[in-house]
């Protein structure tokens, strides 16, 4: 069976530096930081009192007021990102009767904030105060289900959950549906709203978060020798993926081709990468092989690069192992320096920036990079965007538990 090509025809993003992919891109080109003191709740007792929140989000701009009141924040984000992606693709509903349209939209923690609020309000004493929407808000697959109902997608519908690699796996799995002929159109990505007391306290407990409370805007410092942990973020990124034939038949604009997908497991440790980041190496090699590209064909890498002391070095080591001498010539930037770590939505949001780098001929910077760690021997695009014309880009996502995913995108004119 001939493998069908997968193309990106719609991108919908809610990020801490902008709502809509163009707003996010413009802010990234300005080197904006979306990190600031937390406003969603009283964070004063916490060791980390800042995060990357989505600003200016009005749920009623994207859904009915009744829905907005009933949905958890991560579900509101997914609905908004899905709406933006569909508009960008020039679609208002699933094509035809919807049976050839699928959904793969995931979340890392789902409705954790809703669960935390419910426990706080009931005090675990009065079951009558639990809303009938509680369970539906907590379940991580409800983002996918709400989008299915909203747009009439009646094909396969599920949610991925692979920690920080969630939405990257979503995009890759969605491409597989198209390649196999199981769907013509897929809404794919991730949504996350994890900024709450328990989530931050939990990450503080394992010493994963930065604690630069006096300078939050510069707290996320991937690749910098002074990095001290990641910055928790929130948001959503959803793509419309289509078979190349389906997109051509309806005259759709194509942002990029999703050409390669790789996935692996470290099988080593819950929070630490394997030695030499073997899992990441195999993952990137698999994505390159799937795209039928050599390492020298990649023009830009959007790194997972969270700003943790161990993780950044491990990823840099893996990149050098996979790309060899070419690693010295590939620009590698860390978008989390601007948007924070969107956990389950991170991979898709960063993939959007990687795709837009091909569209606009510029590379997003790694901000807050003032003293690059000598152990990270890469061109990390420090602090300011760079003019370039990448034709093939790679994005990485590595999650807690040792789960890894990489994607390769090609510019649409490359075939």
User: Which of the residues are catalytic?
Assistant: 164, 304, 341
Neighbours of 189 (CB within 10 A): 39
Three-state DSSP at 16 gives coil
Helix (H) or strand (E) holding 7, with range, is strand 6-15
Distance CA 99, CA 89 (A): 19
**HSE-CB of 130 using CA atoms within 13 angstroms:** 14
Length of the chain: 415
Distance CA 205, CA 222 (A): 21
Q: Single out the residue of 268, 267, 304 nearest to residue 284, CA to CA.
A: 304
Neighbours of 124 (CB within 10 A): 8
Neighbours of 228 (CB within 10 A): 16
Distance CA 228, CA 343 (A): 18
Task: Quote the strand ranges of 153-274, DSSP E.
Answer: 157-158, 185-192, 235-243, 256-265
Furthest C-alpha separation in the chain: 64
Helix (H) or strand (E) holding 12, with range, is strand 6-15
Distance CA 343, CA 95 (A): 31
Distance CA 142, CA 405 (A): 23
Sign of CA dihedral 193, 198, 200, 203: negative
Q: What are phi and psi of 209, to 5 degrees?
A: -95, 150
Helix (H) or strand (E) holding 201, with range, is helix 197-205
Distance CA 223, CA 367 (A): 10
């Amino acid at each position: 069976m001939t493998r069908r090509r997968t193309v990106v025809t719609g991108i919908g993003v809610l990020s801490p530096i902008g709502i809509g992919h163009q707003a996010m891109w413009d802010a990234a080109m300005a080197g904006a930081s979306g990190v600031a003191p937390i406003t969603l709740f009283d964070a004063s007792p916490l060791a980390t009192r800042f995060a990357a929140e989505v600003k200016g989000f009005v749920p009623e701009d994207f859904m009915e007021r009744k829905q907005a009141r009933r949905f958890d924040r991560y579900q509101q984000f997914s609905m908004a990102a899905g709406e933006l992606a569909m508009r960008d693709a020039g679609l208002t509903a699933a094509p035809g009767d919807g049976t050839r349209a699928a959904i793969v939209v995931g979340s890392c923690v789902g409705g954790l904030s809703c669960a935390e609020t419910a426990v706080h309000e009931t005090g675990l004493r009065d079951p009558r105060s639990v809303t009938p929407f509680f369970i539906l808000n907590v379940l991580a697959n409800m983002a996918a289900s709400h989008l299915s109902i909203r747009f009439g997608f009646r094909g396969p519908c599920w949610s991925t959950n692979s920690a920080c690699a969630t939405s990257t796996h979503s995009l890759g799995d969605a491409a597989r549906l198209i390649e196999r002929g199981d769907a013509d159109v897929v809404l794919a990505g991730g949504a996350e709203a994890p900024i709450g007391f328990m989530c931050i306290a939990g990450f503080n407990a394992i010493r994963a978060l930065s604690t630069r409370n006096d300078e939050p805007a510069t707290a996320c410092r991937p690749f910098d020798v002074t990095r001290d942990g990641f910055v928790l973020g929130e948001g959503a990124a959803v793509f419309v993926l289509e078979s190349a034939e389906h997109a051509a038949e309806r005259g759709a604009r194509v942002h990029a081709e999703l050409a390669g997908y790789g996935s692996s497991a470290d099988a080593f440790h819950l929070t630490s990468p394997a030695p030499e980041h073997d899992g990441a190496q195999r993952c990137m090699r698999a994505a390159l092989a799937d795209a039928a590209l050599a390492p020298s064909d990649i023009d830009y890498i959007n790194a997972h690069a969270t700003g943790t002391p161990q993780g950044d070095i491990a990823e840099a080591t893996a990149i050098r192992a996979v790309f060899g001498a070419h690693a010295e010539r590939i620009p590698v930037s860390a978008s989390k320096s601007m948007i924070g770590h969107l956990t389950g939505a991170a991979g898709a949001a960063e993939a959007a920036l990687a795709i837009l780098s091909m569209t606009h001929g510029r590379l997003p910077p790694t901000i807050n990079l003032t003293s690059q760690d000598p152990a990270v021997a890469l061109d990390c695009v420090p602090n300011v965007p760079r003019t370039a014309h990448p034709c093939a880009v790679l994005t990485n996502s590595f999650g807690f538990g040792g789960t890894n995913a990489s994607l390769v995108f090609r510019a649409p004119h490359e075939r």
